[in-house]
Amino acid sequence: MNLDGAPERALHTARALILADLAAADVADAEVVSLVEDAVAQRRWWVEQWPDGAEFVASLIAQDVQDALLERYGRWPVCPLCESPHALAVEPELGPDPHWVCEAAGAVVAPVGALKGAL
């Protein structure tokens, strides 16, 4: 495993972005951070197999953490734009520069990693 390459940097960046968003929503307790670590570990194999996909790993890890939180705790992150509570979606699902979006309003809420300013 190359710890200095672009795939590893992408994993560390994705981890930091997701942790920033979790902290912004005040849900970054030890159990939730463990979910992030699990998602990063699982995506490490994926990005090692497809190094050209390193720019997509942040969107994938955001979705992985969102799915894990839904199973254990409920929706996250909750849309700050709508009165009816629903989770934001990650777009693009597989692409660079992911954003949290409200699909109901058709609006970009914040880039992944920058929820603090939107909440």
- Of the two residues 26 and 71, the one the predictor is more confident about is 26
- 77 half-sphere exposure, CB direction, 13 A CA radius: 32
What's residue 4's pLDDT? 57
- 33 half-sphere exposure, CB direction, 13 A CA radius: 8
pTM for the full model?
A: 0.91
What's residue 107's pLDDT? 97
| Mean pLDDT calculated for residue range 65-90 | 94
**pLDDT tens column, 9-59:** 999 999 999 999 999 999 999 999 999 999 999 999 999 999 999 999 999
